[in-house]
Amino acid sequence: MSDELKKQIDQLKADSLAALKNFHHNVSPEELRARVGDTTCSVLINEDFVICYATPPLEKLFDYESQQLEGQHINVLLPARFHMSHLRHLPTYADHPERRDMSHRPELRGITSKGVEFGARIQLAPVFWHGATYFMAEVFEVKPD
């Protein structure tokens, strides 16, 4: 990962820590589970693209311990070669949030905590909650034929 990309991600994380802390003060873990559920392979992201909640199936798919993803920028779930492009797309989606099925993008990839890449199909949806906009992504692993 380039130094420029690391710097951008670190800045995004730093800028969003206050929002993440405020989110956790206003919303209990039970409320998160009730809103997102815990059986789908999903992640809830704030307006700064920081993970607020990851379901147990998503943590398992990406090989993370419970709550280890919270506070991380969403790019932690993508291979490094996609980070810059993803950083350019995120604000565009945030400006016009809508339900979106990303299945038409066969190049979508996820990466586990151990660095193992896999094909992914992703469905996005905005979540308007507690006076803020969040983004939910449901992730499906695409297994080779």
Residue with more model confidence, 50 or 12: 50
Instruction: Decide if 31 contacts 37 (C-beta within 8 A).
Output: no
Maximum distance among all Cα pairs of the chain, rounded to whole angstroms: 45
On whether residue 63 sits in a domain, the answer given is yes
CA neighbor of 4 nearest in space, from 82, 84, 78: 84
Could you read off the pLDDT of 96-143 as tens digits, one per residue?
888 888 877 777 899 999 999 999 999 998 888 777 788 889 998 888
pLDDT at 67: 87
**Distance (Å, rounded) from C-alpha 134 to C-alpha 94?**
9
Query: For residue 145, is it within any domain?
Result: no
For 54-84, how does the pLDDT look when each residue is reduced to its tens digit (9 = 90+)? 999 999 999 999 889 999 999 999 999 999 9
Task: Report if residue 15 sits inside a domain.
Answer: yes
Strand positions, DSSP E, the chain = 42-45, 51-54, 100-101, 109-111, 117-129, 132-142
Number of domains in the chain: 1
Closest by CA to 29, choosing from 65, 56, 57, 58, is: 56
Domain hosting residue 117, numbered range: 3-140
> What phi, psi does 18 have (nearest 5°)?
-65, -45
Output the pLDDT for position 46. Answer: 87
Q: Within a 10 A sphere around the Cβ of 105, how many other Cβ atoms? A: 11
CA–CA distance from 114 to each of 57, 60, 79, 84, 119 (Å)? Answer: 17, 12, 11, 21, 15
Can you give the CATH number for the domain in which 107 is found? 3.30.450.20
User: Is the residue at 111 inside a domain?
Assistant: yes
CA dihedral 134, 77, 112, 37 (to 10 degrees): 10
